[in-house]
Amino acid sequence: MQMLHQLVTLSCWEVRRFFTTMSRDLLPISVILVILLVLVSGFTAQHGMHLQDGLYRIGIDSPAYLEIIGGDPRYTVHDTSGFQGVPPQNIGLDLKIQTGTILRSSGEKGRAAQKSFERDYQAYSDRIYQQQDDLFAAYPLWIQNEYVPSELNFLATQSGQQIGVPGQAQNEPPEPDLPVEDVAPPVLSVPADSEDLRLTLANQMSKDQEQVSRYTGIFSKSDSTQIPYKVPSLLSPPLPFDTIIFIFVFIFPLYFTSQFFMMSIMNERTLRQGEALVAAPIKPAVLIFGKMLPYAIGMVLLASAILLAVQADIMAILPLIPVILFFLAFALFIGMVARSYKELSFISIFFSTIATSYLFFPSLFANVHIVSLLSPVTLVVYVLQGTGYTLMDYLYATSLYYLTSLILFLICIRNFREEQLFTESGMISKIRLYLAGLVQPRHWWFSLFLIGLISIPFVLMAQMMYLVLFFNLPMPFSLILIMLLAAWTEEMAKGAGIIALITAMPGFLNARILVIASALIALGFLFGEKLLLFVTISQISDSVFGAALFLSIGMLWMPFLLHMAGVCITGASVLYKGPKALPFGLALATAVHLIYNLYMLRGWVW
């Protein structure tokens, strides 16, 4: 009860401090920015974006053509009845209709204007056809889309199977493994009334005119009783415009709110206001979470308000919880390591770019590829689409966010002390001190094992980012690039254990200790890697791209020796040449790791 009372007291104190320490100019501006963000997002969802208004200049010689282009805001219409025979570019036009003939100016803009007019003419023709008495004569072809889950095989490399480069494919046609079954042909007739189809067409064509609704129907609830038939001219491929909107609407306000928590930590450090609070008989965990609680509640309420505004299921807040914790954990860490507001701004902008990319790029492949589940925002998209997600999908998409947030909170709690918070050392030196704080001199062997273990979520998150960014590049360049970056990231993480040991215990490292330390770090790294691999990301790991990141699942002794050799190379460089030789050791260890990966993947690379 005492800890709960302290937590509530600190939260109330942080709220009062937030409203009293912010300047009279900054607080109203922040509130106005948040309100404007919500209003602009809602206005865009309802009315669309008008960046193309008045883009093309078109000339007509008869008012009859206004029925075709009159409702298109992209056109500025001019009367050219007195300019017969004059090319459109001579009078500053992109397109000209003269006695039923279309004339366009030369260049890309003229071709684009003609393409836009062709789409308008198709919509005009659809409106004319829709008014015909015999609707089936006007539209002899009706199409019904049936969406099924993707059946892409991500387990092709399981059990040592090989996948050849496309150029090495055989010339013979493939033979099916299972018996071939006859598929019933579709029904030729449309099981719907003509008037219902007419109303469906009118509804679809009106939506197609809206600039946002033609890309997504998420912001406006669709009628579930609508007949799922379309004519070919109304079919369009799905575009990831909805996920772009969700990234902006959900992620930006959450990250914007977490900045206030970061600024609160920074203010207490730079203004020396937190010394008395740190010296108080309060546990660091209670102190940190008490200060963080108001911001976390505010972020949850903000995300819930956005979900209610778009009339979405409130359960969509669950995938955003780990994102909120992720932002707050890094806000705390950045606020503790930055020396100045300039350094704070640089680090926070860099982190926001990386974090937003990690959330943004995978969600672009929603309903297309398994890599989309690397982002929790994809689960939000699924909820708003009505498809939902399973418990395994949730664990798959959020486990790395939960683990990295937990580890960062533990590191920050352990280092939330006066000698760490109020030092003027650089960011790299402070990170080394934070790592050294994880090493217990009496149990250094277990500390090294633990450092190797807790580095896994950060390594896997970085490697998943590489997979998302480069999996669509041509083979084998994508595999080689992924393997190079993955090997470098792993060697960096494993080298952190050696840096922590020599920082916490100067002069302790020698050749014998280096071998033992390398084995312990490699063991912890391997244990965490395989445990998290089997639990959460088996689908990715068994694919050809995932195999480039996570090799030899069944042969544990080979990756153990590889990890141990990498740590030994990095540690030996630091031991015999000093800390300045660390980049050389990391480069050499990365080269050895890359050669190992290339040998294991030789069936895919060459």
Q: Order of strands, edge to edge, in the sheet holding 101-104?
A: 75-79, 56-60, 95-98, 101-104
Q: What angle do CA 544, 545, 548 make, to 5 degrees?
A: 95
Q: What is the model's pLDDT at position 533?
A: 62
Query: How long a stretch of residues is the chain?
Result: 606
DSSP tag of 230: B
Please, is 208 exposed, middle or buried when counting C-beta atoms within 10 Å of its C-beta (0-12, 13-18, 19+)?
A: middle
CB atoms within 10 A of CB 13: 14
Centre a 10 Å sphere on the Cβ of residue 192 and count the other Cβ atoms it contains.
14
Q: Are 225 and 193 in contact (CB under 8 A)?
A: no
d(CA 493, CA 92): 62
Q: Which of 542, 558, 567 is nearest to 600 (CA)?
A: 558
416 Rama sector, left if φ>0, alpha if ψ -120 to 50, beta otherwise: beta
Choose among 104, 100, 122: nearest CA to 112. 104
Non-local (6+) Cβ contacts of 318 within 8 A are 379, 394
Q: Determine the 3-state secondary structure of 571 from DSSP.
A: helix
- Low-confidence spans in the chain with pLDDT less than 70: 1, 19-27, 30-31, 34, 37-52, 146-174, 176-177, 183, 185-189, 191, 204-227, 236-247, 272-276, 363-371, 424, 468, 471-472, 475-476, 532-556, 601-606
Residue 132 CA neighbour count, 13 Å, CB half:
13
Rounded to 5, what percent of the chain is helix, strand, coil? 65, 5, 30
The structure tokens 């369009």 sit at: 236
Is 490 within 8 Å of 535 (Cβ atoms)?
A: no
Residue-level pLDDT at 165: 42
- How many C-beta atoms lie closer than 10 Å to residue 331's C-beta? 26
One-letter amino acid identity for 445? W
pLDDT per residue as tens digits for the range 368-404: 556 677 778 888 877 877 777 888 878 888 888 888 8
Count CB atoms within 10 A of the CB of residue 553: 16
pLDDT (0 to 100) of residue 226: 57
Give the Cα separation of 250 and 239 in Å (integer): 19
Burial class (CB in 10 A: 0-12, 13-18, 19+), 513: middle
